[in-house]
Amino acid sequence: MSVTPDLEHIIDQARTAFASATRPADLENEKAKFLGKDGVLTAELKALGKLPIEEKKTRGAQVNAVRVQVEQLLNEARQALADAELNARLSTEKLDVTLPGRGLNRGGVHPVTRVTRRVEAIFRSMGFDVADGPEIENDWYNFTSLNSPMNHPARSMQDTFYVADKDERGNPLVLRTHTSPMQVRYARTQVAKMNAGTLKKGSPIKVIAPGRTYRVDSDATHSPMFHQVEGLWIAEAVSFADLKAVYTAFLQKFFETTDLQTRFRPSYFPFTEPSVEIDMAFGSGPNAGKWLEISGAGQVHPTVIRNFGLDPEEYMGFAFGSGLERLAMLRYGVNDLRLFFENDLRFLGQFK
């Protein structure tokens, strides 16, 4: 519909006004100037009332057509602003889905922990229980009960960290120098169960106890903190033959080869008699034919059996204490013990 020039002018004004609005709020203000209560078009509509009937009809239709056009311009302007806003957001919040992922840095189990778990699984499969005990130990369990009384020269075999506090009975406390106190702790718990009737009298005592141990010692093969695994098998007739069989079977499973030999070399520990060092030699591989010291062991001393609460005339057996870092070094071909404790991720990352 063609409209009079004054009405045409309103459309032009609206077009420029709407186009100049850069924010939705500005646009709504401009809208009010045309379509609002005091807007130009509202005034035109009001003015119609004063016109003669014929003129009212044509002018009315024209004003209405202009209103429709202005509303259309308004909607176009609204859409343009919304599009512009969306485009601005899209360009700032741009997401490049073709970028390579950052990757998840996966942790791993420490090699000594891995070896400990492996040792536990093997001994469990041979019927051994797995026990855990305190690292701050009293003097009685660490030394006295193991046949190293106060002032016995054998105590100096292990340079000890003494703790300033004493236990509730006034016993000196130490950072345990070996896992051997667990022999006594575990055996006494089992004997207490036998005495209470919750465990059959005469049940074999068969346990390993892995854990941290401490000595004042530090070089390429010694660390002030290291790990041992204690083994103990006490029954009516457990002999050195059993020790050799069990320990050899363990080593074969641990190193996944039957091509290895073990030998017992005489040694001394206050809590075993006789005492040995267990040596092993691989039949092949980089260490082939070389005897490697792998564990202390022996037949549990009668005094220690007595401290278990058992009669050494009725019970006998063996104990061993092996260094877990030593086993880890041989299994993984690591030549410096300190690598296990420096926490260098380049080293540890190789065991994931």
Binding site for ligand PHE (CB under 6 A): 178, 180, 269, 272, 296-298, 319-321
Nearer to ligand PHE, 39 or 321 (CB): 321
The answer to whether 185 and 132 are in contact (CB under 8 A) is: no
Residues shown for the chain: 352
Minimum distance, C-beta of residue 178 to ligand PHE, in the bound complex (Å): 3
Nearer to ligand PHE, 69 or 272 (CB): 272
Nearer to ligand PHE, 40 or 305 (CB): 305
CA distances from 273 to 213, 245, 262 (A): 23, 19, 19
The answer to whether 233 and 318 are in contact (CB under 8 A) is: yes
Minimum distance, C-beta of residue 275 to ligand PHE, in the bound complex (Å): 6
Q: Report residue 21 as tokens.
A: 């609005």
Minimum distance, C-beta of residue 200 to ligand PHE, in the bound complex (Å): 26
Minimum distance, C-beta of residue 297 to ligand PHE, in the bound complex (Å): 5
Nearer to ligand PHE, 210 or 296 (CB): 296
Tell me the pairing of strands 205-214 and 129-130.
parallel
Q: Which residue is nearest to ligand PHE (CB)?
A: 321
Distance of CA 96 to the CA centre of its chain: 32
Minimum distance, C-beta of residue 266 to ligand PHE, in the bound complex (Å): 12
Count of Cβ atoms closer than 10 Å to residue 223 Cβ:
17
Minimum distance, C-beta of residue 319 to ligand PHE, in the bound complex (Å): 4
CA–CA dist 138, 190 (Å, integer): 20
Nearer to ligand PHE, 69 or 228 (CB): 228
Nearer to ligand PHE, 209 or 339 (CB): 209
Nearer to ligand PHE, 10 or 319 (CB): 319
Minimum distance, C-beta of residue 201 to ligand PHE, in the bound complex (Å): 25
Nearer to ligand PHE, 115 or 229 (CB): 229
Minimum distance, C-beta of residue 298 to ligand PHE, in the bound complex (Å): 5
Minimum distance, C-beta of residue 102 to ligand PHE, in the bound complex (Å): 46
Nearer to ligand PHE, 154 or 163 (CB): 154
Minimum distance, C-beta of residue 199 to ligand PHE, in the bound complex (Å): 23
Q: Report residue 148 as tokens.
A: 């190293």
Nearer to ligand PHE, 249 or 348 (CB): 249
- Within 13 A of 280's CA, how many CA atoms are on the CB side? 24
**Which amino acid does the sequence have at 200?**
K
Query: What is the rounded (10 degree) CA torsion for 26, 31, 36, 40?
Result: 120
